[in-house]
Structure 1
């Protein structure tokens, strides 16, 4: 009987040790789970932070791209002649929409560039019938809004040498074409004494031969001499 009790004591001690080990393992596992949850939460926070930074970077890059586009647009606007309003308030609106006529404001002057294909046949200085409707609108706008202004009519040509035409040089051809336009405007009521004539011939070419052949009617900012009327 005594021997049996002695054996029972070590068995009870072993059970106590095992129970203690299980409790320690559970506590360690619980601690590990807590640490894992904490680390997972920290990782999620960092990922969210990185995502926010990425979105901010994308927005900043888009803003930089937009600003660059605006800068390029400003450069182009500054380099090109205005088609709307000059600093003095002069506009080309009265000449917009006329067939074959490009109206721009340069400084305080209005430049009306008229395509040669509308005005003349090749090598000729007689106005085509198709030019009259557009020139009628030009003369009407000048009389209504700019009757007191000095007008300069300028002829331009391409650089091809004169071969078949009766005009000795492109300067002569450009002058005669400007003279034809001036004469038509005069007959339509624009004061002839207010209009000057020039020819640059081939000296101021455009991007193509077709664009180089043109006549410009420049409505200047200068008031014409009233005695000349």
Structure 2
């Protein structure tokens, strides 16, 4: 009996011990789960903080970009107003130029100039609206030269005849030379710069017109060299930039007092060194 009691006591103690071990394992497992969840919460909180910080930064960038866009919109509106003002001023100027040009030519003279340009398409163009006669330098001169070619001189003689027959109109003639952007080559000793070459080409054209009877005090010259091109600096564009333009402008108050000269045979002149630009009258 005593042995049975001892055995039962041992069994009870063993059961209690085993129950305690099972409960502790469950506690440990749950604590591990809690720690894992706490780690996840900490990591997610960090990610959330980083996302909020990035969102704030982006909102600030958007705000700054919005300010930039607004500034650009204001600048655009200002530029549009300035452009509209410039266009209107250009229209007003064109209108005033048109008014100034009224009475300079008549239909007969315009028709004669148009016919001359049509019969010499490689040499002349004529714009009735602006009164500009344009000569291509490649046809009028040899490269690097200011001597007018015979074919161009013959066409200029016809131009002079048209202008001379309408000297009762209140116009004067301005001959302005232009070149391409290429530097002067072999003829540098005579024409140090493109400005010199353009001015001397204008002088040569003027000489033909005056020799053919236009009053010298109604024909002026100018030269712009490579400046004021009409086309980009491409091979085709540079050809267009090499030109001489003849403008009909309102007669100044001191012009037209010299009687027209009689046409005479061209005199062969020896080339002379270029004068300084300050000695050349410019437009």
TM-score norm. by structure 1 comes to: 0.57
Task: Measure how far apart 1:161 and its partner are.
Answer: 1.0
- Report what 1:130 is aligned to: 151
Stretches of structure 2 that go unaligned for 5 or more consecutive residues are 1-89, 232-236, 260-283
**3-state SS of 1:154 partner:** strand
Moved runs in structure 1, 4+ residues, more than 6 A? Answer: none
Per-residue CA deviation, residues 105-159 of structure 1 (Å, 9 max, x unaligned), is: 355xx21101112210100111111102210111011011245521111000001
**Structure 1 residue 150 corresponds to structure 2 residue 168:** no
Structure 1 gaps, min length 5: 1-77
Distance 2:208 2:241 in 1: 22
More strand by share: 1
TM (norm. structure 2) is 0.47
Aligned to 2:50: none
Distance 1:144 1:116 in 2: 26
Alignment partners' CA distance in 2, 1:168 and 1:218: 26
- Cα separation, 2, equivalents of 1:210 and 1:97: 24
CA contact (8 A) 2:124 2:134 kept: yes
Provide the alpha-carbon RMSD of the alignment.
2.4
Q: Does 1:200 align with 2:258?
A: no
Alpha-carbon separation, structure 2, partners of 1:181 and 1:203: 20
Larger radius of gyration: 2
> How many equivalent residue pairs?
145
Deviations 1:67-121 (A, max 9, x none): xxxxxxxxxxx99xx9xxx5636463321132111111355xx211011122101
